[in-house]
Amino acid sequence: MSSPRVHLLPASVDLCDRAAQHIVQQHRAQLPDLSRVTLLLPYISAAPQLRRALATHAGGGLLGPQIYTLDVFAQSRGTHAPALPALDCRLRLASALARHRHLFPGVGTAQAAEALFGLFEELIAHGLDLGSDEAAFTARLQSAYRAPRPLHFLSQEAQIAHRLFAAYLADTDNRSPAAAQRQQLQSAFASVTADESLQLIGFDEFSPAQTAAVKQALITGHAELWLQGRQEGRDGESLRALCHSLGVEPILADAPASSTSSLLDAVYAGENRAAPLELKDGPAFEIVLAAGPEHEARCVDVAVREALLKGAGSITVISGDRRLARRLRALLDRAGIPLHDPAGWALSTSSAAACVNAWLECLATDFQFRPLLTFLKSSFAATDADALRVLEQELIYTRQIENDLDSYLRDAQPVPPLTAVLERLRQAAKPTPGWNTTQSGDAWCQSLRAALDTLGLTPRLQQDAAGTRLLRLLEDLSRALTYHRLMLDGDAFRELLDRQLERETFIPDRRRSPVQLLTLEQSQNVRSDLLILAGASRAQLPGSPAAEPLFNASVRLELGLPAWTVRHAR
């Protein structure tokens, strides 16, 4: 029996437009007030398109609705205690592992903590428990590894994971990000009242916790669900699984015959065909074979500029290749075209992070000339040009000074500007002990912040988007390390900082733009005048799973976690 509150639209239909039309008709008596309507999307990328469609069907401006992702909805409406910061949870694990370095020989403490944090959070998000019986858990691992008999390394791996997971649950007191998210999601859906309208648009999968919350909301009549695609064929596997988990049978929306749907049906029906696919009146598309990465970026650049000249109002570039994205952004910047990239860029790729890393490398190598020049040539260092020229050409290349500030200073005496630069470096390095010295992580953070102040970098970083984010990261890291008192040497501190820089993102350009860059996942429900799928190589589509230092794919499947191959198939 069909579920009246679950709608299934074919791929040819504009999902946002159809949902917006339905919402406006449903609440026409309340227009222009849609403040009691909440729309939930898998990704926020489609929100502007959805707002435009609502305004069009309503015939004017609107008050509301609220548009969230599920995670943000849980955070804004949930009443559970706020989650512990992910950084705090990682440091708790790192502190525990630092006391037992023998557990993962050959694996750094920060790397092991990162791997365990990801595993534990995924287990919690899926509502899985390793159980209280360590022997039973070891037997599950043995089965997953298909081992004919108990093996020492299996028992050790089981004990480590089992005990650390139990300790992690106790230490975080059910307030880790995943645990808090589950509680907040439950309370957020429970807070929806009878006079509210909750619309979930464009989802094709839910986590177990999300499934339970959405299923209950559909049963009570507090929510409507909008799906797109079909339930037949291999491409319908995800929607079939979703509907089965929710216990619903969607209403199939009427739609005229579409060349897009015909093309997709033919592609999926003939995946193993020998002859090329021929389809008349299909959607216009073009396949471009690039000679290399640079050529590919230029092809995309030209396609974007040509489309804009022809009057395209919206262009979406879909790619998971960040190197290609970086090159494309540079090419479009050169043409005066901003690129909207909601995913942002890893903070580690910024010039601000490069400057700080060069400074840390100077400390680690006793100011070896390569990192020294890299640091002084950074725009944040603002080094006197004449002083830099003398240092590079006279002291380094002519007199062959390899490192050591005293050596540089001894030969720089006749050049006052260079002496001033080197003396400032000496003063900035004073708060930092020897690189191999072990001290608290907070002490390392404080000495780094003091050095940035002495070098005059702080005010310059504050004028930069990435620099501002980096300074805030150092404050957060220092605050967390003050509590955990993790003891680190210079290399360990740098590894910890590098991992934070890789994880954090920043958006360098927030100007409005008709051109947006999205990942394949972010492009759900998005429609544009031109769609460019860039970086369509086997390395990116489907790509490959990240290497896991703890538990291989079969073990993760045995524990109840979805394997990468299963997620990719969906």
Confidence tier at 64 by pLDDT (50, 70, 90):
confident
The amino acid occupying position 243 is C
Higher per-residue confidence, 365 vs 559: 365
Question: Which residues lie below 8 Å from residue 425, measured CB to CB, with a gap of 6+?
Answer: 362, 367, 405, 455
3-state secondary structure of 37: strand
Element spanning 184, H or E: helix 177-190
pLDDT at 397 over 60: yes
Q: What pLDDT is attached to residue 100?
A: 74
Q: Are strands 66-69 and 37-41 parallel, antiparallel or unpaired?
A: parallel
pLDDT at 507 over 50: yes
Q: Are strands 3-9 and 515-518 parallel, antiparallel or unpaired?
A: unpaired
CB burial string 198-214: b at 16+ within 10 A, e below: bbbbbbeebbebbbbbb
pLDDT at 226 over 60: yes
pTM of the shown model = 0.82
Alpha helices in 435-558 (DSSP H): 441-454, 457-462, 465-484, 490-503, 553-558
Q: What is the pLDDT of residues 331-343, one digit of tens each?
A: 998 999 999 888 8
Q: What pLDDT is attached to residue 501?
A: 93
3-state secondary structure of 113: helix
Residue with tokens 């005010």: 459
| Backbone phi and psi for residue 156, each to the nearest 5 degrees, phi listed first | -65, -45
Question: Which residues lie below 8 Å from residue 191, measured CB to CB, with a gap of 6+?
Answer: 77, 78, 79
Q: What pLDDT is attached to residue 270?
A: 57
3-state secondary structure of 224: strand
- Lookup: tokens for 369: 């000339």
**Are 230 and 10 in contact, with CB atoms under 8 Å apart?**
yes
CB burial string 147-177: b at 16+ within 10 A, e below: eeeeeeebeebbebbbebbeebbebbeebbb
Question: Which residues lie below 8 Å from residue 53, measured CB to CB, with a gap of 6+?
Answer: 14, 16, 17, 19, 20, 21
pLDDT, average across residues 16-26 = 94
Please count the CA atoms within 13 angstroms of the CA of 434 that sit on its side-chain side.
3
Residue with tokens 């890291």: 477
**Distance of alpha carbon 508 from alpha carbon 464, whole angstroms:** 9
- Lookup: tokens for 450: 């003091």
**Are 493 and 441 in contact, with CB atoms under 8 Å apart?**
yes
**Distance of alpha carbon 567 from alpha carbon 237, whole angstroms:** 11
pLDDT at 471 over 70: yes
pLDDT, average across residues 382-405 = 91
Cis peptide before 105 (omega within 30 of 0): no
Average the pLDDT over each of 107-121, 129-143, 361-375 and give the range with the smallest value: 129-143
Give the count of beta carbons closer than 10 Å to the beta carbon of residue 114: 19
Average the pLDDT over each of 195-204, 249-258, 398-407 and give the range with the smallest value: 249-258
Cα 384 → chain centroid: 39
Element spanning 238, H or E: helix 237-246
Average the pLDDT over each of 23-32, 208-217, 481-490, 541-550 and give the range with the smallest value: 541-550
Provide the percentage of residues in the chain whose pLDDT is more than 90: 47
The beta-strand segments (E) located in 132-191 are none
Question: Which residues lie below 8 Å from residue 141, measured CB to CB, with a gap of 6+?
Answer: 154, 157, 158, 555, 558
Nearest-5° Cα angle at 255, 249 to 258: 120
Q: What pLDDT is attached to residue 137?
A: 66
pLDDT, average across residues 545-568 = 66
Higher per-residue confidence, 208 vs 475: 475
pLDDT, average across residues 150-175 = 73
Q: What pLDDT is attached to residue 490?
A: 93
Q: Closest Cα partner for 262 from 570, 11, 549? A: 11
pLDDT, average across residues 220-224 = 89
Confidence tier at 133 by pLDDT (50, 70, 90):
low
pLDDT, average across residues 471-489 = 91
pLDDT, average across residues 201-211 = 90
Q: What is the pLDDT of residues 412-426, one digit of tens each?
A: 888 889 999 999 999
Higher per-residue confidence, 465 vs 284: 465
Q: Are strands 315-318 and 530-533 parallel, antiparallel or unpaired?
A: parallel
pLDDT at 112 over 90: no
Q: What pLDDT is attached to residue 271?
A: 53
Q: What pLDDT is attached to residue 1?
A: 43
Q: What pLDDT is attached to residue 140?
A: 64
DSSP one-letter code for 562:
P
3-state secondary structure of 490: helix
List the beta bridge partners of residue 78.
none
Please count the CA atoms within 13 angstroms of the CA of 113 that sit on its side-chain side.
25
Q: What pLDDT is attached to residue 530?
A: 92
The amino acid occupying position 199 is Q
**Distance of alpha carbon 454 from alpha carbon 436, whole angstroms:** 23
Mean pLDDT of the chain: 85
Higher per-residue confidence, 548 vs 30: 30
Average the pLDDT over each of 171-180, 267-276, 544-553 and give the range with the smallest value: 267-276
Provide the percentage of residues in the chain whose pLDDT is more than 70: 84
Confidence tier at 82 by pLDDT (50, 70, 90):
confident
Higher per-residue confidence, 336 vs 134: 336
Q: What is the pLDDT of residues 240-256, one digit of tens each?
A: 888 989 999 888 877 66
Confidence tier at 269 by pLDDT (50, 70, 90):
low
